[in-house]
Amino acid sequence: MTVIYLPSSNGWFVHSPVAIDEQLEEVLPTLGGATAAQVQHIVSPNYEHVKYAKCWNEKYPNAYIWACPGLSMRHSAVRWSGEIPEGIRPAHFQTFTSQPLSTQIPDGFWDTEEIQAIHLNFEANPFTSRPFFNEVIFYHAPSKSLLVTDFFWNYPGPDGIPNSSYQGYVSKENNLDYGEWELAPRADMPWKSLLWKFGMDQVYRPFYNNFMITKRKEYLKVLSYILNEWDIETLIPAHGDIIRGKMLIRSILQSHCPT
């Protein structure tokens, strides 16, 4: 889960919510020195990250709760405020691609310049021809942070050292962040997690890149926009370690998302 403070409304944007406990409920209003900030937006960004949406909906009934495109029909027990528009793109994307955008922003939506969204509507299950994750990714412009759920994973390797597999991507003369820091401590990796990592890296990712990207032209436009238009300094995956550093992130995304 990632929580973003929205200073214009003194509220919280909650991305991919996890289970709520008393400690989390108590600390939310005061994160980052905010005073009595309220949970205002709760986002389930793809078909899989929806497990706790109903709990958050019940705990914060006055908050807007947003589903990725198509999710509200799958989980009708949640009192959704609406869905993130199909095919949503940042406003500048129209200039970038020279194609008109027709997405209608719902009432009550957050500031789409502050938190920009891209619907990854270029992928489909090859057996059903339907979207698999149907994910929406987000770029928080003030902090230069990219938030993803299942489009990119960063599970630790067998050594348990955060981001150790990426230390060879750029030289240390660039003075970027390379590994252990307070939000990503060294961890002993259980064999089930290592097996899962192997399956995701060696089986699922090649299958996704080769067979599930059905609209490759749009995929390349989106990837180019992410790499060249968003000034990303922090990459926050829902699975695995946070990564910091412009050059490092660019190198990793280029490797993870081959053209």
Q: pLDDT band at 158, cuts 50/70/90?
A: confident
Res 256 pLDDT > 90: no
Q: What mean pLDDT comes out for the span 215-231?
A: 93
Res 180 pLDDT > 70: no
* Model pLDDT, residue 95: 63
Q: Other C-beta atoms within 10 Å of 239: how many?
A: 14
Res 179 pLDDT > 60: no
Nearest in space to 137 (alpha carbons), one of 16, 8, 247, 255: 16
User: Residues 6 or more apart from 255 whose CB is under 8 A from it?
Assistant: 169
* Model pLDDT, residue 223: 94
CA dihedral sign, ordered 104, 110, 112, 117: negative
Q: pLDDT band at 222, cuts 50/70/90?
A: very high
Strands (E), 58-212: 64-67, 82-83, 115-119, 136-140, 145-148
Q: pLDDT tens, 12-39?
A: 999 999 999 999 988 888 787 677 778 9
Q: pLDDT tens, 52-68?
A: 999 999 999 999 999 99
CATH number at residue 244: 3.60.15.10
Query: Looking at the 3D structure of the chain, how many domains does it have?
Result: 1
Identity of the highest mean pLDDT range in 37-41, 157-161, 165-169, 185-189: 37-41
**Please, what is the average pLDDT of the chain?**
87
Distance CA(83)–CA(237), nearest Å, equals 22
Least confident of 68-82, 152-166, 197-211: 152-166
Model pTM? 0.91
Res 100 pLDDT > 70: no
Res 156 pLDDT > 90: no
Res 115 pLDDT > 90: yes
Q: For residue 105, give its domain range.
A: 2-256
